Amino acid sequence: MTKKLSKEQQKIALEGATERPFSSPLNYEKRAGIYYCASCHTELFSSDAKYDSGSGWPSFFKPAKKEIIGTSTDYDIGYERVEVHCNNCGAHLGHVFEDGPKPTGLRYCINGAVLDFKPD
């Protein structure tokens, strides 16, 4: 199942762009629920793993299932970053950094525009 994406969503999902910090209402989303891939509706993250990183992008310390998030290395801004994408449809989601909270120590820094949140 593929949904039609807006221009901004396409820029992020297909071209690897990054939304402006603090531009996504999902930054402030605190309800329990599930975050889905906006492109293919695969379950990507649970609200249980969401935390406020202060970065300006919705942040999670682990994916709903490890195998659903794919990674690759990019050098788009001049230094090495680990890019993350939906393993089902290939949509770019954001990046993962190693400065997250316990227990994983990871920070999945995700563009809210390419997430679909469904409260429980």
Shortest separation between residue 115's beta carbon and Zn ion, angstroms: 10
CA 19, CA 57: separation in Å to the nearest integer?
8
Which one of the listed residues 37, 40, 86, 109 is annotated catalytic? Answer: 109
List Cα–Cα distances, 77 to 33, 58, 83, 94, 112, in angstroms: 33, 20, 12, 13, 20
CA 80, CA 37: separation in Å to the nearest integer?
25
Shortest separation between residue 82's beta carbon and Zn ion, angstroms: 18
Chain positions contacting Zn ion, by CB under 5 A: 37, 39-40, 42, 86, 88-89, 91
Torsion of CA 13, 17, 23, 29, to 10 degrees: 40
Active site residue 109: yes
Nearer to Zn ion, 12 or 86 (CB): 86
Nearer to Zn ion, 14 or 82 (CB): 14
Shortest separation between residue 56's beta carbon and Zn ion, angstroms: 23
Strand pairing partners for 117? 35
Nearer to Zn ion, 34 or 89 (CB): 89
Q: Which residues are catalytic?
A: 109
